[in-house]
Structure 1
Amino acid sequence: MILSRRPDVERFLARPDAAIRCVLLYGRDAGVVRDRANQLAGKVTERPDDPFDVALLTDRDLDADGARLESELSAQSMMGGRRLVRLRLSADKADKVVAAAVTAHAGGAFNPEAFFLIEAGELPARASALRKAAEAAAAAAAIPCYEDEPGDVARLVRETLAKDRVGLDADALAVFVARLPRERGVARQEIERLALYLGPGSGLTASAKDLEPFLGVEPEASLSEAAADAFGGRAAEAQAALRRAAAEGEGGPGAVRAIGMHLGRLRRTLTLAKRGAGLQEAAKASGVFWKQEREFLRQARSWSLEDLDRLQPEVLGADRACKQSGAPDQLIAERLALAVAGRARKLGL
């Protein structure tokens, strides 16, 4: 079966269905796949690091011994708990072999009490035998792991810092999330580094000013600034900023996401203002950082909700296009930024 809706996935990870023997976690962001696999492993067995109950394999192990996978799935737990066989794939060369094992194990061919957990990268729907096998078997589940959205990143920051009894206020959280890399594993390292900086157990809730020594000066190539340039009608600046961001490792999907976030803040601000709130008050409620407030308010006085409604389909279209395999995502992002800037210029910005 397929589990793709967030509520269904979260529910399954919190309490795995006892009838499911195989789970395939796959996606472009290896950090998200790994985090979900760790969460699921902890639910399947009380000792996810115990070598007597858990077998941890890679595709290289399968290359070295073709019978290793079937042997591990057939073995019984030595300590009396549920056995976990965890396979991490770094390539698709073992796709058909693992697919056959999924079909057989889901059908009860091996130890029915063993749980088969597979971690893989991006798997094309039509070309991956492994994905097809996991989706087709009644006792298996295929779970796509999408790249984190800003809300996911913010939640990860809050939850990770809370474990060390430190936190960030709303402005500091917005600044820190905007600066984090989108790859989950790297982002988690940065969050842990921040926790050490704030002092584990200190109970400190840091402000944006408190973060300045930790973050340093925000780089020119930040995607949030590129988005602000686009909505402010500064096409050349927006394009140059996106190219600098690309040189620093920020790809097209992140750029389109930043433009969508800026549009969302403008929409929320204008909606609140339409309901009677002051424009400055509405901007603050929309999460606008005080250093960007002056420019943001200038834009909010020129853009209208109708203008944003007309622009929204282009942003959504660019986001979908960036996620297609082999898409020129950097070019897509630059074209979107130029289109936004062109509309802003027509509005007088």
Structure 2
Amino acid sequence: MLLNRRPDAERFLSRPDPAIRAALIFGRDLGVVRDRAQGLASKIVANPDDPFDVAVLSERDMADDGGRLEGELAAQSLIGGRRLVRLRLSGDSVPIDRLAAEALERHSKGELNPDAFLLIEAGDLAKGSALRKAAEKQAGAAAIPCYEDEPGDVARLVRETLAKDNLNLNADALALFVARLPRERGVVRQEIERLVLFLGPGSGVQGAATDLEAFLGVEPDASLFDAAADAFGGRIAEAQAGLRRAAQEGEGGPAAVRAMGMHLARLRKVVTLVLAGAGAQEAAKASGVFWKQEREVLRQVRAWKLEDLDRLQPELLAADRACKTTGSPDRLIAERLALAVASRAKRLGL
């Protein structure tokens, strides 16, 4: 069945219908897909990371063994009780789409282990997708499309996430912060994490708009944007020269790290949209890439994968935190970060 209305989807995600044996969560914003899937997984089993109760499959697993998914769905839990089988899809392979559809259809009819739950995460599936059709058609399955967050959704996510660390923003600060955030859920969470570190986890602070000025700063000027683009493009000497030029113009290390973070976020959004089926140029435009930078960004997108960008994110967070430590050599920290990024880009073939 199709749960297209937000209230219906939220109701199911918070209290899954025991008659439903499979769920397909899909959409262009993979960050929203992952969030909803993780929330649902926690309702199905006590520990979604427990290897005894949970099996996690990828497209590679399906390609290597076409019967692997049905085999996992037929297996019993090693310690008894509910079993969760998760399938994560990132591409648009027609054979894998059909294999997943067949397994979902059989399982939703109760032909496999009735104590197992099938949870599939996918990108922006076309209406002609066999998997999407099967999930929408079967009474024992739920198809949940995910859409880009609205400002109200982002504001709620900011409030809820900050509250977990005993932090808050007043109305003006919240509006300012949300206005400066992108709409891709994964990037939003990374920016909230940076804000938590800035305000101080567990400090009980309620941030005001004036408090966010130092965190948000001004938009980096052209030198910092160029340096960030050069770093992610594998041009080490140019990136260092751009950072030094920006330093002469009065821009410090925190602004340089923020510029690299913004470039990473933009690359990540383009890559995510392309994986969801968008054309490369369409994805670049939707991500706010300036037309003069489009060719270079698309060159970088062909080399940087989501997993490469995700592995780099902790280094940016660490550099951002280090730059804001009293007495730290923030410009040197930013240069070292740019060098690390550029070196990794070169290893990726840029």
Aligned to 2:116: 114
Give the 3 Å change call, closer, same or farther, for CA 209–149 of structure 1 in structure 2. same
Aligned to 1:67: 67
Among 81, 97, 100, the alignment partner of 1:98 is 100
> Secondary structure at 1:119's aligned position in 2?
strand
2: distance between equivalents of 1:68 and 1:154? 41
| Deviation digits for residues 34-76 of structure 1 (CA, Å, limit 9, x no counterpart) | 0000000000011211000000010101111122111100001
CA contact under 8 A between 2:266 and 2:287: conserved in structure 1?
A: no
Matches within 5 A, 1:152-301: 152-218=153-219, 249=266
Task: For residue 325 of structure 1, report the CA deviation from its aligned partner.
Answer: 6.7
CA contact under 8 A between 2:21 and 2:140: conserved in structure 1?
A: yes
> Secondary structure at 1:69's aligned position in 2?
helix
CA contact under 8 A between 2:90 and 2:122: conserved in structure 1?
A: yes
2: distance between equivalents of 1:99 and 1:328? 29
> Secondary structure at 1:52's aligned position in 2?
coil
Aligned to 2:130: 129
Aligned to 2:28: 28
Unmatched 5+ residue regions in structure 2?
Answer: 223-261, 268-276, 289-350
Give the 3 Å change call, closer, same or farther, for CA 6–44 of structure 1 in structure 2. same
Task: For residue 193 of structure 1, report the CA deviation from its aligned partner.
Answer: 1.2
Matches within 5 A, 1:318-333: none
| Deviation digits for residues 80-110 of structure 1 (CA, Å, limit 9, x no counterpart) | 2200000000112111110011111111111
Aligned to 1:337: none
1: distance between equivalents of 2:52 and 2:284? 47
Work out the percentage of aligned pairs sharing the same amino acid: 66
Over the aligned positions, Cα root-mean-square deviation in angstroms equals 2.9
| Deviation digits for residues 252-285 of structure 1 (CA, Å, limit 9, x no counterpart) | xxxxxxxxxxxxxxxxxxxxxxxxxxxxxxxxxx
1: distance between equivalents of 2:15 and 2:147? 20
2: distance between equivalents of 1:333 and 1:68? 37
| Deviation digits for residues 184-237 of structure 1 (CA, Å, limit 9, x no counterpart) | 01110110110111011111001111011111114699xxxxxxxxxxxxxxxx
Equivalent pairs, count: 241
Aligned to 2:8: 8
Give the 3 Å change call, closer, same or farther, for CA 331–148 of structure 1 in structure 2. closer
- Which protein is bigger by CA-based radius of gyration? 1
CA contact under 8 A between 2:97 and 2:129: conserved in structure 1?
A: yes
Task: For residue 332 of structure 1, report the CA deviation from its aligned partner.
Answer: 10
Give the 3 Å change call, closer, same or farther, for CA 329–83 of structure 1 in structure 2. closer
Give the 3 Å change call, closer, same or farther, for CA 164–333 of structure 1 in structure 2. closer
Letter in 2 for 1:66: G
2: distance between equivalents of 1:7 and 1:332? 28
Give the 3 Å change call, closer, same or farther, for CA 175–218 of structure 1 in structure 2. farther
CA contact under 8 A between 2:26 and 2:124: conserved in structure 1?
A: yes
2: distance between equivalents of 1:96 and 1:329? 27
> Secondary structure at 2:114's aligned position in 1?
coil
2: distance between equivalents of 1:329 and 1:111? 41
| Deviation digits for residues 123-164 of structure 1 (CA, Å, limit 9, x no counterpart) | 111x20000000000000100010101000000000000000
Query: Is 1:146 the counterpart of 2:147 in the alignment?
Result: yes
Task: For residue 170 of structure 1, report the CA deviation from its aligned partner.
Answer: 0.8
Give the 3 Å change call, closer, same or farther, for CA 67–133 of structure 1 in structure 2. same
1: distance between equivalents of 2:282 and 2:200? 42
| Deviation digits for residues 9-45 of structure 1 (CA, Å, limit 9, x no counterpart) | 1111110000000100000011000000000000001
1: distance between equivalents of 2:284 and 2:44? 41
CA contact under 8 A between 2:13 and 2:36: conserved in structure 1?
A: yes
> Secondary structure at 2:42's aligned position in 1?
helix
Give the 3 Å change call, closer, same or farther, for CA 49–331 of structure 1 in structure 2. closer
Give the 3 Å change call, closer, same or farther, for CA 174–44 of structure 1 in structure 2. same
> Secondary structure at 2:202's aligned position in 1?
coil
Task: For residue 79 of structure 1, report the CA deviation from its aligned partner.
Answer: 1.7
Question: Structure 1 residues 134-143 or 66-75, which shifts more?
Answer: 66-75
Unmatched 5+ residue regions in structure 1?
Answer: 222-244, 251-323, 335-349
